[in-house]
Amino acid sequence: MGYKSVCIDCRKSLNRPLETDSDRLYPCSECGKSMTLLSHRFRPPKKTDDKKWEVVQYLVENGFRYDHIYQKIETNSRGITSYQNYAEYPKNIREAKEFIEKYKEQARK
């Protein structure tokens, strides 16, 4: 499994191998900016789908890189929280705002 290198500005996505010992940044072949590494689970929208790319950008800016996000199930009397089930990533900006608020403790800092 690897990552997707994504240029949100150019709306371009490339598959990359997993390199755990590397901090390598991949430049976009179109604009030259560093591409963002997202989980292999990310499925890029069509280049022309402005609204879906807006959602992608909003999520990434708020620390969500398409990794698994867990739905909180319960916290027991000893303060141990159990998580189960993966949350589905939002499809529109309204859902994205709710998603970020609900799962903000799982965002990457």
pLDDT value at position 21?
A: 58
Calculate the dihedral angle through the C-alpha atoms of 7, 69, 49, 25, rounding to the nearest 10 degrees. Answer: 0
Above 90 in pLDDT, residue 3?
A: no
* pTM attached to this predicted model: 0.83
Surface-to-core class of residue 92, CB atoms within 10 Å of its CB (0-12 exposed, 13-18 middle, 19+ buried): exposed
pLDDT of residue 20: 59
Residue with tokens 């072949």: 29
